[in-house]
A and B are shown apart, each in its own frame.
Chain A
């Protein structure tokens, strides 16, 4: 008999406790970030699409077109072309295109890059109307970032400049090879001269 009333009292009190929790939640501020109107700050390690780092010293990219990223990408999405321009020590990328629609954001390209020229961008709201919208030309994107930061824009080399540079480099290479060949022949001639003198002796 007493347990009947006790059960009612305990049950009723637990209901009141539950209602207290709900009413406390009712007056708390909402935790939703209402997306298009309010945005949250992404953490620094957020992985957006891989992009070329803008070097603070040279204020341009560091890519030397070694194509390590091209070889390591498991989905083979990166296309890099580069050439050595006259007057510079290393090759420079002239085209860096990455098909982001298939990218799995594995980060292997970022990890393997020897001059550490790649980083993850903080961009998360990519949307396009066609597949081609997701093909990213990183030199152009770098230009946009430079413009936004008020820095001088690195021009993308045109076809003529590239072929001119290639021609100059090819000519220089030919000249070097000729010189090396001439030197090697001269050395051989000098050795040949010295050798019969030795044979004569014997």
Chain B
């Protein structure tokens, strides 16, 4: 252990510990979130949800994971093998890397980079690449359609996401996530820029392919989707990546708008997690309230409503900052 610490230096040791913690967090988070999703969905539909396995179905996700691991990994005949195999891995990596810069509390950051928010936004775009890889390599025209629509959706919603983030960064003056949290010690940014918060949440649900914007996945229920040819553990990786992506999006929303780890009595980490899971509850609430948008409605909504509003917000922020 000392040899490792000596070789890597304190930075490296911090990274190793952080990596282990992140892997643990990702697994526990996915387990918890899948259970939470099923319970929230159930209670919004006046039914109990999973109740059999464990108290109130708490162990249900573990049972499902074991079932998925036992399934056969089918590789269809004419797929593009390297890309087919890589796609689930590529969707998972950026999500794991985004955990590096998230401030769980004033001292709990693995690596406080100067370009923290930029890193997260850049990596979230990589997941779009993996969706395209999955759809294209599947040798299935419906999968390709699903993948193309998903790419169009993600690009369309990336723009208002970036622009609203810009409004916040203009106010703070730095890309560092810990700086953004520190700037909210007085008043949270959701109070100062409510429009930006609403736009950010809408774009976050679209970026994570959730709720009314889940056309890429939904077509897998109806006809086919980008992950139609994936079975067993590969499919599980896609879903793990989706729930972890939700966590990252909610964490970024918390850091940017809800004051990060600030809060009265409890330690910073606890407040951070409470806020993150509150935002995730909001995302789940959206899913079980709204019907799925049609693809043209989705794209129209992004280009004709969200982008102009985001730019108006940015303009007003810039004006106010300049005139102060």
Q: Say yes or no for B48: interface residue by CB 8 A criterion.
A: yes
A162, B138: Cα distance in complex, Å:
77
Residues in chain B near residue A19, CB distance under 8 A: 285-286, 289
Given contacts A8-B305, A26-B40, contact A21 B47 (CB under 8 A): no
A150 at the interface (CB under 8 A from B): no
Contact A26 B44 (CB under 8 A): yes
Does B47 contact A22, Cβ atoms closer than 8 Å? Answer: no
- For A31, what are the chain B residues with a Cβ–Cβ distance below 8 Å? 46-47
A175 to B15, CA, bound (A): 110
CB pair B46–A25 under 8 Å, yes or no, is: yes
CB B117 to nearest CB in A, in angstroms, measures 27
Contact residues in A for B48 (Cβ distance below 8 Å): 30, 32, 34
Least CB separation from B291: chain A residue: A18
Question: A194 near B: Cβ within 8 Å?
Answer: no
Query: In the complex the two chains form, is A18's CB within 8 Å of B289's CB?
Result: yes
Other-chain residue from A15, A21, A28, A34 in contact with B46 (beta carbon distance below 8 A): A28
Q: Nearest Cβ in chain A — how far from B112, in angstroms?
A: 36
Known: A8-B305, A21-B289, A23-B285. A32 touches B40 (CB 8 A): no
Chain B positions within 8 Å of A8 at CB level: 305, 309
**Contact, CB under 8 Å: B290 / A18:** yes
Q: How long is the Cα–Cα vector from A200 to B150 in the complex, in angstroms?
A: 124
CB neighbours of A21 from chain B (8 A): 289
Q: Which residue of B lies closest to A19 (CB)?
A: B289
- Provided the pairs A8-B305, A19-B285, A34-B51 are in contact, do residues A25 and B290 lie with their beta carbons within 8 angstroms? no
* Residues of A in contact with B, size category: 10 to 19
A30 near B46 (CB under 8 angstroms)? yes
Partner of B288, one of A15, A22, A28, A32: A22
Considering only residues 237-273 of chain B, those with a C-beta below 8 Å from chain A are: none
Total cross-chain contacts (CB, 8 A): 36
B43 proximal to A (CB < 8 A): yes
**Contact flags (1/0) for B46-90 with A, using CB distance below 8 Å?**
111001000000000000000000000000000000000000000
Known contacts A8-B305, A34-B51, A22 near B289 by CB under 8 Å:
yes
B44 touches A22 (CB 8 A): yes
Within 8 A of B (CB), among A19-52: 19, 21-23, 25-26, 28, 30-32, 34
- Is B107 among interface residues, defined by CB-CB distance under 8 A? no
Residues of chain A within 8 A (CB-CB) of B290 are 15, 18
B6 is an interface residue with CB less than 8 A from chain A: no
Count of residues in B whose CB is under 8 Å from the partner chain: 16
Dominant SS among interface residues on chain A: helix
Instruction: Kindly supply a per-residue 1/0 record for chain B positions 277-315, scoring 1 wherever the CB is within 8 Å of any chain A CB and 0 otherwise.
Output: 000000001101110000000000000010001000000
What distance in Å separates the Cβ of B301 from its nearest Cβ neighbour in chain A?
A: 9
Inter-chain CA distance A22–B291, complex, in Å, is: 13
Closest Cβ neighbor of B304 among chain A residues = A4
Contact partners of A22 in chain B: CB under 8 A: 44, 285, 288-289
Cα distance A140–B74 in the bound complex, in angstroms: 56
Interface string of B18-51 (1 = CB under 8 A from A): 0000000000000000000000101111111001
* Cβ A25 vs Cβ B44 within 8 A: yes
Residue of A nearest to B289 (CB): A22
| Structural contact, A30 and B289, CB atoms closer than 8 A | no
Q: Is the CB of A26 within 8 A of B51?
A: no
Given the complex of chains A and B, what is the CA–CA distance between A22 and B47 in angstroms? 13
Q: Is the CB of B43 within 8 A of A30?
A: yes
Q: In chain A, what residue has the closest Cβ to B290?
A: A18
Q: Which residues of A contact B51 (CB under 8 A)?
A: 34
What CA separation (Å) do A34 and B48 show in the bound complex? Answer: 8
A residues in contact with B289, CB < 8 Å: 18-19, 21-22
Could you say which of B40, B48, B289, B309 has the most chain A C-beta atoms within 10 Å of its C-beta? B289
In angstroms, Cα B48 to Cα A32, docked, is 7
Give the docked Cα–Cα distance between A28 and B44 (Å): 8
Within 8 A of A (CB), among B190-227: none
A76 to chain B, nearest CB (A): 42
A8-B305, A15-B290, A18-B290 given; A25·B45 CB < 8 A: yes
Q: Which residues does B use to contact A, with CB under 8 Å?
A: 40, 42-48, 51, 285-286, 288-290, 305, 309
> Can you list 19 A-B pairs with a CB-CB distance of less than 8 A?
A8-B305, A15-B290, A18-B289, A19-B285, A21-B289, A22-B44, A23-B44, A25-B43, A25-B45, A25-B46, A26-B40, A26-B44, A26-B285, A30-B43, A30-B46, A31-B46, A32-B46, A32-B47, A34-B51
Task: List 10 additional contacts besides A30-B42, A30-B47; criterion CB under 8 Å.
Answer: A8-B305, A8-B309, A19-B289, A25-B43, A25-B46, A26-B285, A28-B46, A32-B46, A32-B47, A34-B48
A interface with B by C-beta (< 8 Å): 8, 15, 18-19, 21-23, 25-26, 28, 30-32, 34
